[in-house]
Amino acid sequence: MSFLKKFKGLFHDDWCPTCNSEMNILDKQLFMLNETVSHYASTRNPTYFRENLLKVDKKSDIPAGIYACGIKTYFCSECNKKIVYVQVFLPVRDQEKLEDAFYYENGELNNFLEKQKNL
């Protein structure tokens, strides 16, 4: 992952990737990724996330050595669209070691997230 993308993901994930306007957060969800330390391979394929994410209520529910995904759904009032931000990280003690950050602007994860929210 490029340095600039990582930096933006750490500090400004609420900026629209299209127009750079500030977005409003609609929802936040936490998931456990079915990958252990050293076995995560970077991919932005939404099918991979739909098939490998398990919803959890809090970080302490994630076993040691298992990757997690924090997923935020934003709305950009300038572009008038819903944007999903996926942040893949490894919980290490009380910190999050960032691995990847992806934006999905075309609704690739919207149905999946709606179903998970209602579980």
Mean pLDDT of each 10-residue bin along the chain, 119 residues long:
51 80 94 89 93 94 94 93 94 89 93 88
Phi-psi region of 117 (alpha: psi -120 to 50; beta: other; left: phi over 0): alpha
Q: What was the pLDDT predicted at 12?
A: 72
Q: How far apart are CA 69 and CA 13, in angstroms?
A: 14
Cβ proximity of 67 and 39 under 8 Å: no
Per-residue confidence (pLDDT) for residue 40, from 0 to 100: 87
Looking at residue 16, its pLDDT comes to 85
Reference 25, options 39, 10, 38, 13; nearest CA is 13
3-state secondary structure of 6: helix
At 13 the pLDDT is 80
Q: Which pLDDT value is given to residue 7?
A: 55
Q: What is the pTM of this model?
A: 0.84
Query: What local confidence, expressed as pLDDT, does residue 77 receive?
Result: 93
